[in-house]
Amino acid sequence: MGRRVVITGMGAVSSLGMSARATMDGMAAGRSGISALEFQDVERLQIRIGGQIKSYDETAHFSRQELTFYDRFTQFAVLAAREAVAQSGAALAGAQSGVVLGTSGGGLQTQDENFRKVYEEGKNRVHPFVVPRLMNNAAASHLSMLHGVTGPSYTVSTACASSNHAMGQAFHMIRSGMADCMLTGGAESMLCFGGIKAWEGLRVMSKTGCRPFSANRDGMVQGEGAAVFVFEALDVAQARGAEILAEVAGFAMTSDASDIVMPNQDGAMRAMLGALNDAGLTPEDIGYINAHGTGTLGNDKTESAAIREVFGAHAKAMPVSSTKSMHGHLIGGTGAVELLACIMALREGIIAPTINHDQPDPACGLNVVPNVAQKAKPRATLSNAFAFGGLNAVLALKSAL
């Protein structure tokens, strides 16, 4: 079976707050981080809301030299990792540690800014470090440099499942003995003109708000931010007396092999069943699911049907919520931020709600923790991510020992 894997540190930045604690507090309070988007040319968009991180001053966190190399998604990853590493106290420096991060857009803001300069403003020159700033692995590389991590480091990009795939890889690497300790999670910052312009063309975005599982839902709302965790081999964490936040118990990934954008119930079911099986858990062991719950017509109906099928009678009362209703859909970073809801459920017995739940949808029919957090004592949780392209990744966590 290999080594057991635990989480010993967590960090986050999101529109709910600039730390893991602040983000979880926002979730527990059912607070909305969605607001009017603010960036150049926003008035030329149809979609003008998002989970944007406001009143954030990059110069308060980073030097001018650092900012030359840090796109906004890298900045978020660095801040989240700093918090996670400080909490964990793990000995990261060295070849027994690695970094696996998820992102979908990478340095999209850097691309957007520089395309504007050369195409719209007609400039013939861009900053010499555009490439190292925009590359998808920039955040992973900076984490490796900042923390002296010299083992395997890379970036996983599977759209909305990127960070779940990344964390699953990190889990596998420790379980198999390839690494003792991994920095893992995801980061995303696509809230710029080009980023939203591309998304609005798909006609799946809401102009009004993210209302997962509600009968009046009308689409997804994007967010931005990052979450980074320290995953560590149980034996290593115990030997140094580290506080264990949760155990990473299982992981599974499947492919729908059906449609490039429409979800598929079978692929989702196989991923959830695979994660249960990998963790040695039964459906009845699961006390909370952090749903993918995008707020689109298709996802929420299909995901609900998949959950009802996998969990049977247990699905009637089991809490299932989508925290995207509060922080928006962070695309390649979303699974990482959402894992915080699972950790909060396991450690604190607080189940984050699905806010904006105006009217139940009979096609969903789950306890979606409408609008207000619920108290429960789950011993194990699942976190779902189902990406465009039909790539699914589900993580199972258990409470700390």
Positions annotated as catalytic residues are: 160, 292, 329
CA distance 245 to 259: 37
Is-contact 389 260, C-beta < 8 A?
yes
Instruction: Tell how far CA 94 is from the center of its chain.
Output: 27
Number of C-alpha atoms within 13 angstroms, CB side, residue 400? 19
CB of 204 to another protein, least distance (A): 5
CB of 297 to another protein, least distance (A): 4
CB of 357 to another protein, least distance (A): 16
CB of 393 to another protein, least distance (A): 24
End-to-end CA distance of the chain: 17
Q: Which of 64, 65, 51 is nearest to 13 (CA)?
A: 51
Identify the three-state secondary structure at position 140: helix
CA distance 365 to 143: 42
| H or E segment to which residue 236 belongs | helix 234-239
CB of 195 to another protein, least distance (A): 18
For 336, other C-beta atoms within 10 Å of its C-beta total 35
Residue 160 or 174: which CB sits closer to another protein? Answer: 160
Which residues are near another protein by CB under 8 A? 46, 201-204, 206-207, 217-219, 260-262, 296-298
Q: Which of 275, 313, 312 is nearest to 398 (CA)?
A: 275
CB < 8 Å & 24+ apart, contacts of 108-114? 108/71, 108/73, 108/134, 108/189, 108/190, 108/192, 108/194, 108/195, 109/71, 109/72, 109/73, 109/189, 109/190, 109/192, 109/195, 110/71, 110/134, 111/194, 112/192, 112/193, 112/194, 112/195, 113/192
Residue 218 or 266: which CB sits closer to another protein? Answer: 218
Residue 345 corresponds to which tokens in the numbers above? Answer: 């459920």
Residue 118 or 262: which CB sits closer to another protein? Answer: 262
Residue 278 or 300: which CB sits closer to another protein? Answer: 300
CB of 388 to another protein, least distance (A): 12
Residue 260 or 317: which CB sits closer to another protein? Answer: 260
Residue 46 or 277: which CB sits closer to another protein? Answer: 46
